[in-house]
Copies of this chain bind each other. A is one copy, B any other.
């Protein structure tokens, strides 16, 4: 089974009718399942999470972006979150049976369509970036919608990867590919926040710790415990159990026990199989031995073979 996640961010977090229309554009695309919708009025932003096979996910992303371009006028948009367009950013995330280079290709395919069919300037970012200065989103969003509107015309370094060097009411869009991000927190049985901070410093990549790990130490509402709050940017580089054991080991060295841990958001099944395989020493174990994974493979294979899927691309709105 090929499974790709897409997490587009739209510059609308207040008008329910607009959010519903964009959401529906994804939800009605054959082969796509919307797993989550999160909106924030202060940020004036909505984030959709959907999954499906590669071509269906690209199609859904295109339909959402087309609806957003119709319904959102960036010249009238304001909110706390930095943004460059009605559809601000579209990342593709490989979940199963799809490589990162394939997700880069999906980003390129979508970017070309947004540029040519909708006239939206597109910047390829992160793994899809063609130059180092477009890898990070803050760099791509420099000046935001208002600044980019001027600089895209005058500054050759802001020339888009696809679409015109001209920003209309739909703004511009960053399209890219990135690994699944795991948000994972571990609480420690101590009131000493300096311990959480020193452990965070020891394990995060930026200070020479574990690759693909970001970490902060912080107090919690419970004065008896402190927290190491982490983003694992790529669990194939640093698996969940490596993060957990590193934090537990450093805490134990200071005589402090782990109280609990929590996952913020979702986890792909591969993280579960890797963690179980590690702790129970299951050598060859993988998703092929998980009942639900085999059922999912079978259901999606059945779906993909359905005759009503032909000509789907022509239905784009």
Contact with B along A271-299 (1 / 0, CB 8 A): 11101100111111100011111111011
* A42 on interface, CB distance cutoff 8 Å: no
- A268 at interface (Cβ–Cβ under 8 A)? yes
Which residues of B sit under 8 angstroms from A269, Cβ to Cβ?
269, 272, 290-293
On whether the beta carbons of A299 and B298 are closer than 8 Å, the reply is: no
- In the complex, what residues of B have CB within 8 A of residue A300's CB? 299
Q: State which of A60-68, A98-106, A254-262 sits at the interface with chain B.
A: A254-262
- The answer to whether B268 and A282 touch across the interface, beta carbons within 8 angstroms, is no
Q: Which residues of B contact A252 (CB under 8 A)?
A: none
Interface centre among A263, A294, A303 (most CB of B within 10 A): A263
Residue from B244, B266, B284, B289 in contact with A280 in the complex, judged by beta carbons closer than 8 Å: B244
Q: Is A95 an interface residue (CB 8 A)?
A: yes
Q: Which residues of B contact A96 (CB under 8 A)?
A: 292
Contact B282 A262 (CB under 8 A): yes
Report the minimal beta-carbon distance from A117 to chain B, rounded to whole angstroms: 29
Contact residues of A between 95 and 143, Cβ < 8 Å to B: 95-96
Q: Taking the complex as formed, is A166 at the interface, i.e. its CB lies under 8 A from any CB of chain B?
A: no
User: From A33, which residue of chain B is reached at the shortest CB distance?
Assistant: B298
Chain A 146-190: CB-based contact to B (< 8 A → 1; otherwise 0): 000000000000000000000000000000000000000010000
Report the minimal beta-carbon distance from A37 to chain B, rounded to whole angstroms. Answer: 13
B95 near A291 with CB under 8 A, answer yes
Cβ of A293: which chain B residues have Cβ within 8 Å of it? 269, 292
Q: Quick check: B5 and A291 within 8 Å, CB to CB? A: yes
Verify if A199 is at the interface (C-beta below 8 Å from B): no
Docked-complex contact A289 and B276, CB < 8 angstroms: no
Q: Which residues of B contact A273 (CB under 8 A)?
A: 272
Give Cα A279–Cα B262 distance, bound, in whole angstroms. Answer: 12
In the complex with contacts A276-B272, A276-B275, A281-B295 CB distance below 8 A: no
Which listed residue, B5, B261, B267, B294, touches A289 by the CB 8 Å rule? B267
**Within 8 Å of chain B (Cβ to Cβ): is A41?**
no
Q: Which residues of B contact A294 (CB under 8 A)?
A: 35, 266
What would 12 A/B residue contacts be, using CB atoms closer than 8 Å? A5-B291, A35-B294, A51-B295, A96-B292, A259-B281, A262-B285, A263-B285, A267-B290, A269-B290, A272-B272, A275-B279, A275-B280
Top 6 A-B residue pairs of the complex, sorted by shortest distance between their CB atoms: A279-B279, A272-B272, A269-B292, A275-B276, A33-B298, A260-B283
Residues on A close to B: CB < 8 A? 3, 5, 33, 35, 51, 95-96, 186, 240-241, 244, 258-263, 265-269, 271-273, 275-276, 279-285, 289-296, 298-300, 303
